[in-house]
Amino acid sequence: MGLASFLKTPALLIIMKDLLFWFRYLLVGSFVLLIAVSVQASSFYVDSISGHQVKIAWNLDKSPSRIVIRRNGTTIFDSGWFPSGKTGWRTDNVPSGGGYTYSFSADGCLEWSRNFCIEPDPIFYDTTVARVIPGAPSTISFSGREDGSRDTNGVFSINWGAASTPPNIDGYQWCQEKDGQWQSESSCPKVGKSTLSRNIGAVPLDNGSYRYRVRSYATGDSFTEYSGWRTSSTTIVSKPPSSVATITDPDSKQTTNFYVRWEAVTGADYYILECKPPIGSFGDNECSNSNVTGASDLIQLAEGSSGT
């Protein structure tokens, strides 16, 4: 068989076809792998926040011909049809703390006419949220308590120091804790930013252990952001019990041992019973008792004694 005839055999043709396939696979496959490693996904993000200033940035996998940035639907930057680089940043001054939603669109151009794109090619779109957190109240304290950390009538005031700005705030929210149980945040009252105190006890508080906390809030274009809580020390409300309503007078003549009884008072831990002889004052040692735990007391007097 001559060389020309051998080159035309089916077996050789199959071998050459396989070799060509693997050669193309190795060449093209390596090229594709190289490109895949070098490509970086596009991104749009909040780079930093300082006071009222929000810095937003982007990183694209191809150079755009136009970039448009909007905050809550309002355009804050439009590059126009002017080719730019793959990376960049912009700053935006927001009016106050709160949440702000930014959208970013980048377009290429498939056909130009006199420096104007007549066939845009969208290459990237994304949104991001800037959370501008307001400052917390600087302090929280009490006023109007009668006895240090204790209060005897259930009426006092809480006071707090203004939050530092910027960013600006819209107001404050405060909550009460009683005996270790905080009220739900959704029920905590809000007040304006010029209000720095609250009077507690329009209806006097019941006996118990109370704490308070306060935080600032600000509402942006999208939603409300809150500072951290500033929490007070503990106030103990301990109101004195009411007076004894009735006392049962003993008979005018008694044996040397008899009981004096009275109506019990809710919340009373003990009672003080005083008596006085015909000549003297209340508090006589013979029949007074400063620690009666029930609603009666046994009186023991010498025979022939009298008094009130």
Write the pLDDT tens digit of every residue in 89-110. Answer: 999 999 999 999 999 999 999 9
The verdict on 226 and 283 lying in the same domain is no
Cβ neighbours of 54 (radius 10 Å): 22
Count up the domains in the chain and report the number. Answer: 4
Query: Of the candidates 192, 211, 237, which is a domain's last residue?
Result: 237
The verdict on 215 and 252 lying in the same domain is no
User: Does the residue 242 lie in any domain?
Assistant: no
Query: Can you give the CATH number for the domain in which 207 is found?
Result: 2.60.40.10
Q: For residue 269, what are the domain limits?
A: 247-300
The verdict on 27 and 97 lying in the same domain is no
The verdict on 156 and 219 lying in the same domain is yes
Cα–Cα distance measured from residue 226 to residue 219, given in angstroms and rounded to the nearest whole number? 9
Apex 181 CA angle, 178 and 185, nearest 5: 105
Query: Is residue 27's pLDDT more than 50?
Result: no
Query: Is residue 10's pLDDT more than 70?
Result: no
b/e 21-36 (16+ beta carbons within 10 angstroms → b): eeeeeeeeeeeeeeee
Query: Is residue 190's pLDDT more than 60?
Result: yes
Q: Check if the beta carbon of residue 153 is closer than 8 Å to that of residue 235.
A: no
The verdict on 65 and 121 lying in the same domain is yes
User: Does the residue 155 lie in any domain?
Assistant: yes
Considering the chain, what is the average pLDDT of its residues?
83
Query: Is residue 12's pLDDT more than 90?
Result: no
The answer to whether the predicted template modeling score (pTM) of the entire model surpasses 0.75 is: no
The verdict on 16 and 55 lying in the same domain is no
User: Does the residue 308 lie in any domain?
Assistant: no
pLDDT digits (tens, 9 = 90+) for 219-266: 998 899 999 999 999 999 998 887 776 777 666 566 667 777 777 777
Cα–Cα distance measured from residue 287 to residue 250, given in angstroms and rounded to the nearest whole number? 14
Model pLDDT, residue 31: 43
Query: Is residue 28's pLDDT more than 60?
Result: no
Query: Is residue 298's pLDDT more than 80?
Result: no
Cα–Cα distance measured from residue 119 to residue 109, given in angstroms and rounded to the nearest whole number? 6
User: Does the residue 217 lie in any domain?
Assistant: yes
The verdict on 17 and 97 lying in the same domain is no
User: Does the residue 262 lie in any domain?
Assistant: yes
Cα–Cα distance measured from residue 56 to residue 76, given in angstroms and rounded to the nearest whole number? 12
The verdict on 9 and 84 lying in the same domain is no
Query: Is residue 283's pLDDT more than 90?
Result: no
Model pLDDT, residue 302: 61
3 state DSSP class of 247: strand
The verdict on 11 and 59 lying in the same domain is no
User: Does the residue 306 lie in any domain?
Assistant: no
DSSP string, 186-205: GGS-EEETT--EEEE-SSPP
Model pLDDT, residue 54: 97
User: Does the residue 204 lie in any domain?
Assistant: yes
Long-range contacts of the stretch 139-147 (C-beta < 8 A, 24+): 139/230, 140/212, 140/213, 140/214, 140/230, 140/231, 140/232, 141/232, 142/232, 142/233, 142/235, 143/197, 145/235
The verdict on 159 and 192 lying in the same domain is yes
The verdict on 19 and 65 lying in the same domain is no
Query: Of the candidates 74, 108, 132, which is a domain's last residue?
Result: 132
The verdict on 232 and 259 lying in the same domain is no
Query: Of the candidates 85, 113, 132, which is a domain's last residue?
Result: 132
User: Does the residue 263 lie in any domain?
Assistant: yes
Model pLDDT, residue 299: 72
